[in-house]
A and B are shown apart, each in its own frame.
Chain A
Amino acid sequence: MNAVPESKIRLSYKLKHDDFSLDVDASLPADGITGVFGRSGAGKTTLLRLIAGLDSPDEGVLEIGGDTLQDSDEGFSMAVHRRRIGYVFQEPRLFPHLDVRGNLQYGFKRARGKRGFEFDAVVDLMDLTSLLPRRTAKLSGGEAQRVAIARALLSSPRLLLMDEPVVALDADRKAEVLPFILKAAETLHVPVLYVSHNIDEVCQLCDQLLVIDAGQSIAAGELQDVLVRTDIPVLAGEEAGAVIVARVRQYDANYGLSRLITSAGPMWVRGEYAPDTEVRVRLRANDVSICRQAPTDTSILNMLPARVIRIKPETKSSVLVHLQAADDQVVARITRKSSDELKLEADDEVIAQIKSVSVRNV
């Protein structure tokens, strides 16, 4: 991208309560969507509230793109309304005494002189034109959250914080909101910190990942690199897996499959994706298995040649095998018995069989 070196978010926060302590130190790119991932109660919301200035830390430093917003050593903490940090909460928190237009204009009016986007452009992007005269009580959950996101964007934030904005929505509503988040971040170039404890959501949306556990930042970096860190407990669970980037070659209308090209070879995925676009493919460790030789009669379509990086014992019955498939890293969860019988060792050349994949347009 066109990220200049100083367009970084540097944050360092310390906070101690009776039963909870937070100590987070991170430097994140002020660009794209950064997932803040961790279990419930890990301190993700606490961190966002500190960044927004809604709560005060014991010690805290916050710099965005070279501007200092907080520095407790200097006794400096910019007021919430001057930080220009947008916040989308778990619940929409729309103002019931204003209609949708009034809600959207609330932040827009107050950003006069610092506006980054046109009112109509954002309304259009979030597909809210027909909702403008609506009362907020008459909105569905998904619509209300879309209004809340647009309202935050219209205040022209230099950083947008999103605290599990779709956690209260059912799967259909979720699918209705997530693409708008992606679209907004990409079209409007607003850096987003996206809090979630749902790895699927993170894989769909985020470019960068910051992992928080028990109030500590334990990993940060590119999504692909951090996701395969199975030494981190929250990333080694049932949902463990990898994400790789692929390019769409063609759509087979007969079978309803799209053919993708990954660095390690071709793959088939269900559904139609536009040719020559980039897509992100999520390979869950539970869906990846390993063969010594490519099997001939199998229902599995996707096989990538790979090299074993290391084998990590997991439970009494299972191991996690880290594989290098050309430029990409893949993780397979297989039984310890299979691993022993195949006599798997580091540097072995194997075939990774992939049962199912989930895909998102980049």
Chain B
Amino acid sequence: MNFSAGELGPLWLSVQLGAVTTVLLLLIATPLAWWLATTRSPVKPVMQAIVALPIVLPPTVLGFYLLILLGPYGAVGSWWVQASGDTLTFSFLGLVIASCVYSLPFAVQPLAAAFESIGRQPVEAARTLGASRFNAFLSVAVPMAAPGFLGASVLSFAHTLGEFGVVLMVGGNIPGETRVISIAIFDHVEALDYASAHRLSALLLVFAFVVLLLMFVVNRRMTRV
């Protein structure tokens, strides 16, 4: 298969979006997942429901609310316009924010499950050995949750790569800015260019399979100890 530069552009953009989103999500999801895994607060189920919402909501609904929120008249969007003179919607940054919301449960849930299976005990042991709360978390809970971090990274990345509805609502179809691979495929199909649609789709399919396969292989290695 030969890909032209024009075809690879959306793929490259998707990979960038996935990578940036994954890094940001790990930073956001790690403390959130730890809190969910260890808290006894009555607010916990509420937080769990909020985090899980993107799994259930149609991407168009999520995209619609994000469009309103990030748009030039929305709460976040208008502030951004004032601060930077640019709009958030139909920009790469807007896509990153939308992706983080959209993929949040795919980062939080594997991490929370990993932290829950570790429990408080190893961290308590670390505390009595002279580690501060934060230090115990970094030196014990995080390495012990390594399979959870792998799962969270792969799922966030793959899920972001495959998103369509939210991107269409928030990002539109601007080459080099918001035209990601799923949008490109949709374009090809609309233009009845099935050959191009095939090539990109097959590429995404193989890529997704390889990534998931790698994750399960590595995961097995890690948990076998």
- Which chain A residues have a beta carbon within 8 Å of chain B's beta carbons? 52, 54, 79-81, 84-87, 89, 91, 93, 95-97, 106-107, 110-111, 135, 137, 151-152, 155
Contact = CB atoms under 8 A, between A and B. Distances in A.
Given A110-B131, A155-B128, 13 more contacts: A54-B124, A80-B127, A81-B127, A81-B128, A81-B129, A85-B128, A87-B128, A93-B122, A95-B122, A106-B129, A110-B129, A137-B225, A155-B129
Contacts of B127: 54, 80-81
Given A54-B124, A89-B121, A89-B125, A95 B144 contact: yes
A52 B129 CA distance: 11
A123 to B, nearest CB: 16
Interface in B115-161: 121-122, 124-133, 135-136, 139-140, 143-144, 146
Contacts of B140: 95, 97
Q: Which 10 residue pairs of A and B lie closest in terms of their CB atoms, listed nearest first?
A: A110-B130, A107-B129, A87-B128, A93-B125, A80-B127, A97-B143, A155-B129, A81-B130, A137-B225, A81-B132
A86 B128 contact: yes
Contact of A93 (B121, B130, B133, B143): B121
A321 to B, nearest CB: 45
A91 B122 CA distance: 11
Nearest to B130: A110
A122 to B, nearest CB: 14
Contacts of B126: 95, 106
11 contacts: A52-B128, A79-B132, A81-B132, A81-B135, A87-B125, A89-B125, A93-B121, A95-B122, A95-B126, A96-B144, A155-B128
Contacts of B136: 81
Contacts of A107: 129-130
A137 B225 CA distance: 8
A134 B139 CA distance: 19
Nearest to A136: B225
B129 A97 contact: no
Nearest to B124: A54
A31 B10 CA distance: 71
Nearest to B120: A54
A274 B105 CA distance: 67
Contact of A151 (B122, B129, B132, B146): B129
A162 to B, nearest CB: 12
B144 A97 contact: yes
Contacts of A155: 128-130
Contacts of A91: 121
A111 B131 CA distance: 10
A89 B129 CA distance: 12
Nearest to A86: B128
Contacts of A79: 132
A144 to B, nearest CB: 12
Name the residue among A86, A91, A97 with the largest chain B CB count within 10 angstroms: A97
A80 B128 contact: yes
Name the residue among B130, B140, B143, B146 with the largest chain A CB count within 10 angstroms: B130
A88 to B, nearest CB: 9
Nearest to A155: B129
Nearest to A111: B130
Contacts of A89: 121, 125
Contacts of A152: 128-129
Nearest to A80: B127
A193 to B, nearest CB: 13
Name the residue among A81, A89, A91 with the largest chain B CB count within 10 angstroms: A81
Given A95-B140, A97-B146, A81 B122 contact: no
B117 to A, nearest CB: 12
Contacts of B143: 97
Name the residue among B133, B135, B225 with the largest chain A CB count within 10 angstroms: B225
Contact of B131 (A81, A87, A93): A81
Name the residue among B121, B129, B139 with the largest chain A CB count within 10 angstroms: B129
Contacts of B124: 54, 87, 93
B187 to A, nearest CB: 47
A147 to B, nearest CB: 12
Contacts of A137: 225
Nearest to A54: B124
Nearest to B129: A107
Given A89-B121, A95-B144, A84 B225 contact: no
A110 B140 CA distance: 14
A135 B224 CA distance: 12
Contacts of A111: 130
A152 to B, nearest CB: 7
Contacts of A93: 121-122, 124-125
Nearest to B121: A93
Contacts of B132: 79, 81
A80 B124 CA distance: 9
Contacts of A85: 128
Nearest to B128: A87
Contacts of A81: 127-133, 135-136
